Amino acid sequence: MADALLDTAIANWQPRFTANGVDASDYAVITASMTSWDDWCAAWSRGAEVHLALGDVALNDDRHRSAGEYFSRAALYFHFAKFLFVHDPDQARAAHERAVTALTRALPLLTPSGRREEIDFDGARLVGILRVPDGEGPHPTVLLIAGLDSTKEEFRDVERAFLDRGMATFSLDGPGQGEVEWTLPIRPDWDVVGAAVVSHLQGLPEVDAERIGVWGVSLGGYYAARLAASDLPIRAVVCLSGPYSFGAAWDGLNPLTRRAFEVRSYSDGDAEARRRALDLNLEGHAPRISAPLLVIMGQRDRLFPWTDAQRLVDESAGPSQLLLLEEGNHGCANLTYRHRPYSADWMAARLDAPGSTPGVR
């Protein structure tokens, strides 16, 4: 008997996975080994183990750069093993812990290297990864914000786009995300979260406190807009495929996404999750955005209507731009070449990064 959840996952997620570092052949082999959604976490974890083993071999041979790449990819596979696998928390937690361990091994071996940072917040700790480009600092810095099912383990290729243009990156796990999903629920008031993170960044010698930008994807696009609507010193913001109102999109979300929000918002059932989803709304906040804003959306997004992006651009008070991709899916993962370099160029220009392109405004 066909498994509808598994069929939906395999059919829709390949662009997302391969855009963020999963080998296309691995995707085909790993997904072909499954017969039901219950197989998902174990299958991707087995795939991750292959890259861990290759990393160990490379490390023993003093091929440190290759080892870092293998460990980073293993972390990504472990992350994808658990990213919407919320019905089996024991399996998900085990894969999550392997993802964190693999990324921790990768960080000192990456080029440029990464450093783990922890931020006290609301009785728990937020976790971020700082990577700094070559050259003398302090550096313009981009805060990268994940969505409902993404985490800092997914951002190596996104980081590279900014690092190559002279910007530091800080990839964050916030409330309900990655390492923090086990201690803090999803919350709508990301201006409060952002205040703690920006304060921490301003205290780091590698970061130019006057040149901080924000990039967020999916629900992270909503979070990025909330930071932009606050009084925080944010120079520029990129919102990729974010909702204007998460609650308004609720009925059209797939069962895996709805269930993940229920779990990560610490809701007691679908009805409470629906009510909490309605709190994630930019109404009244969008008009407070005065910093330069780039909103990227795909017209074939299955989660959020592209008109959400147009509304955000129309209501923001500062200079704003909509990059609407007619063939783009959610996150425009099928068209990264159309938006990832562009958004990095756009951000570099607004942060006056050394890798910015003259005339790109």
Catalytically annotated residues: 218
Give the sign of the dihedral formed by CA 172, CA 270, CA 253, CA 79.
positive
Rounded (10°) angle between helices 64-82 and 40-60: 170
194 neighbors 180 (Cβ within 8 angstroms): no
CA distances (Å), origin 216, targets 150, 227, 351:
11, 10, 16
Q: How far apart are CA 327 and CA 110, in angstroms?
A: 34
| Residue at 185: amino acid letter | P
Q: How far apart are CA 152 and CA 178, in angstroms?
A: 7
